[in-house]
Structure 1
Amino acid sequence: MDITTNSTDMTGRNSTNTSHCPFAEGWDWLHTMQPGYILAISVLGILGNVFVLLVFCLHKKACTVAEIYLSNLAAADLLLVSCLPFWAVNVANGFNWPFGPLLCRLINVGIKMNAYCSIYFLVLVSVDRYVALVHTMSHGRMRRPSYAKLGCLLVWGFGLLLGTPTMLFRAVKWFPDFEVTACFLDYPSPKMELVFNVTLIVFGFAIPVSVISYCTCQIIQALKNQAMERFNTEHTERKATLLVLSVLLAFLLCWVPFHLVTALDVLLRAADISGCNLSNSLDICNQVFTYLAFFNSVLNPVLYVIVGKNFRKKVMEVFEQLSMRKKMATGSQRSQLSSTLKTLA
């Protein structure tokens, strides 16, 4: 199952198992509620994530390791919400894809990259917090901005690699049974589809969530031990850790249901278990959980402001910087005007 399976589900995914199934009544909401919901997420997500990136970029101090990871997470979220308006038009258009085959591939690769880059940026930031709180003395030298930037570059490359099947097999095709020209995943065979889906579940969900879960448990235990021993961790480290934990929790709440439904769908296909009621139920669950996952891209900037005390401090300092520059520019203009008037006199 693909992350953007609206038209795929509506057109029988790979033109195999579900094409003979009638639509469930639950699909009526696709044409009414989804376009407005997607556009709302797009607008709020673009404003929020652009704001976050501007704060990190304009602040006079260099970003910390955790902030490098969080800024890249914001960039991944921005990529997603910038692609979603195309899909909103597609849904509102009755799943007739009006943008051509190239954008069919590029837009869906962008959405796919968000899913997998986001989770690996959270792996990096959870490992960073783990090292900062659990192995401060022994591995502290690993927490360098240069290493963080290299790690982010590798994550973007890995996300693009995981999006390769989408680039190769996304196609625009006419479906006479549904009278739509849909943008969908056209795998050469069901076996290849199963292989790619299992690969993505393992590398895009099981492994990173296992790492995140382990690091999170260790971080929480370290914080408890430090509280019991009245050992004062550096205040900025504790505040950064609370922000990271809240972002991790939000990500898991938004994305785990989608990945579980995807895994269940793959298992049922592998076991050759089918049925119209089961297929329609899975498809509707996939739609609901897909848009819950998309909401995470709007939620992250809100968490930065509500939970991130350091981030709020950065926001105030950026506004002060901009205000100071404006005053200096105004004072310079007045000085130039005054000297010009004296020369004329």
Structure 2
Amino acid sequence: MDVVKAGFIPGNISHETVDENQNSTDDTWCHYDPYDWIFTVIPVYILIISVLGILLNVFVLVVFWLHKKACTVAEIYLSNLAAADLFLMSPFLILAVIAGTKYDLHNSKIMCKLIIFSVSMNVYCSIIILALVSIDRYLALVHPLTDGRTRTPFHAKVACVLVWGVCFLLNVPVLIYREVVHDPEGNFTTCDFNFPSPSMFLAFEAFSVFIFFIPAFIISFCTLKIVNALSGTLKKRLNAQKKEQKATTLVLVVLLAFLICWVPVYVVSILDLLSRVNVLNGCHLVNNLYICQHIFYSLAISNSVLNPILYVIVGKTFQTKVKELFMQPSTNLSRHL
């Protein structure tokens, strides 16, 4: 059975090119001496991001869930985004320990699957939820006279349940085909895909890129229309929709932060995919992709910490909810005194 490995390996880089005509792989191992910061700075960084991400996203969920007022459609989407960030951060505490051991994945088959699954679930859920909230803001501001019955909290909750279900199904291959793979000489291990055929691997990689960029296109389209509406001919009409504008401002900032953090990761993924089909090749390129992957993934996971901070700084309605939530116990206490 042919084995296709995807990903980068500390110490050496596994780079197997795929020849579709021969339906085989050209196993080429590019030697690489990694920089020390990959195994010193990054583990500490991941640990800090994980702790902050868990605390801040739990705080966001507590505010949304315990506040006396029901969540709006936008807040339902943003709370699910916080849940996706929390889902991502949870196993990263263990990843920080693994990173400190130079990603020694011996006997770590479960963590191999779990960490990659959490990352993939976070990206898929986040980008699709952001596309949904972009469409909601687009309808609310650009087409406010459309039938509002489709923009209800109930429909938003149903949409989020469907998103989580679909994203889980899309990531089943991660649970099946991610394996702890040993290099030919047995010097190190890595967490790579182990597909039965090269074509399956290429199809999965291409589909992953497709899943990211289609919602990104929807987000970009809706964002341009929203920005045009906020600054153009609809300005007078929007003056009567201050609440919608506040929610939209927060959503736009969160969208921008997500795209800045995650687009570089998928650009590297596209370059890696091109190198595997021999459009681009060379160990120098693979080495650079290895470095870029560590840098860009570190930037990407910081998005899960950035979102709650943006809610507090930009989200005026969220700020009000926080104040009201923490005033509730003191108010109830004063009534009994």
- Give distance in 1, aligned partners of 2:63 and 2:287: 44
- CA gap 1:182/1:112 in 2 versus in 1, 3 angstroms: same
SS in 1 for 2:173: helix
List gaps (5 residues or longer) in structure 1.
332-345
Q: Does 1:21 align with 2:51?
A: no
Larger radius of gyration: 1
Matching residue of 1:51:
59
Q: Which residue of 1 aligns with 2:245?
A: 238
In structure 2, the residue matched to 1:337 is none
**1:108 corresponds to:** 116
Q: Answer whether contact 1:18 1:279 (CA < 8 A) is retained.
A: no
Q: Does 1:316 align with 2:323?
A: yes
TM-score by length of 2: 0.89
Output the CA distance in 1 between the equivalents of 2:125 and 2:54.
17
Deviates more, 1:192-201 or 1:136-145: 136-145
CA shift, 1:85, in A, is 1.6
Q: What secondary structure sits across from 1:47 in the alignment?
A: helix
1:73 and 2:81 matched: yes
Identical pairs, percent = 48
Contact 1:105 1:167 in 2 (8 A): yes
**Partner residue, 2:14:** 12
SS at match of 2:103: coil
Q: What is the CA-CA distance between 1:199 and the residue it aligns to?
A: 0.6
SS of corresponding position for 1:94 = coil
Query: Could you tell me how far apart the structure 1 residues matched to 2:85 and 2:97 are?
Result: 20
Higher helix share: 1
| More displaced 10-residue stretch of structure 1: 111-120 or 65-74 | 111-120
Comparing 310-319 and 180-189, the one that deviates more: 180-189
> Residues 327, 184 of structure 1: CA spacing in aligned structure 2 closer, same or farther, 3 A cutoff?
farther
CA distance in 1: counterparts of 2:332 and 2:184, whole angstroms: 61
Asked if 1:139 is matched to 2:141, the reply is no
Change (3 A) 1:99 1:138: same
| 3-state SS, counterpart of residue 122 of structure 2 | helix
Q: 1:209 Cα deviation (Å)? A: 0.6
Contact kept in structure 1, 2:113 and 2:175, CA below 8 Å: yes
Deviations 1:160-200 (A, max 9, x none): 12212211111123335362243322222322211100011
Corresponding residue number in structure 2 for 1:174: 182
Amino acid at match of 1:21: C
1:161 and 2:157 correspond:
no
Could you list the per-position Cα deviations for residues 242-291 of structure 1 after superposition, in whole angstroms to 9, with x for gaps in the alignment?
00000011011111111111112212322453211011011211221111
Contact 1:52 1:301 in 2 (8 A): yes
Give the whole-Å Cα distance in 1 for the aligned partners of 2:16 and 2:192: 8
Counterparts of 2:109 and 2:174 in 1: how far apart (Å)?
Answer: 12
Q: How many residues of Structure 1 are paired with residues of Structure 2 in the alignment?
A: 325
Is 2:7–2:14's contact at 8 Å kept on the other side of the alignment? no
Question: 1:13–1:154: structure 2 CA closer, same or farther, 3 Å change rule?
Answer: farther
Q: Which moved more, 1:189-198 or 1:223-232?
A: 223-232
Aligned to 2:90: 82
Cα offset for 1:10? 4.8
Deviation at residue 315 of structure 1 after TM alignment:
0.1
Alignment partner of 1:136: what SS? coil
Change (3 A) 1:59 1:215: same
* AA of the residue aligned to 2:193: L
Deviation of residue 56 (structure 1)? 0.3
Relative to structure 2, which stretch is displaced further, 178-187 or 276-285? 178-187
Matched position secondary structure for 2:68: coil
Q: Hey, what's the Cα distance between the residues in 1 that align with 2:107 and 2:56?
A: 27
Shift of 1:90: 1.4
SS at match of 2:31: coil
Q: Distance in 2 between matches of 1:222 and 1:270?
A: 43
In angstroms, what is the RMSD of aligned CA positions? 2.3
Q: Aligned equivalents of 1:51 and 1:133: distance in 2?
A: 29
Secondary structure of 1:85's counterpart equals helix
Once residues 334 and 11 of structure 2 are traced to their aligned partners in structure 1, the CA distance between those partners, rounded to angstroms, is: 57
Deviation of the 1:225 alpha carbon: 2.5
Change over 3 Å in CA distance of 1:279–1:264 after alignment to 2:
same
| C-alpha distance in 2 between matches for 1:79 and 1:191 | 31
Whether 1:247 aligns to 2:249 is no
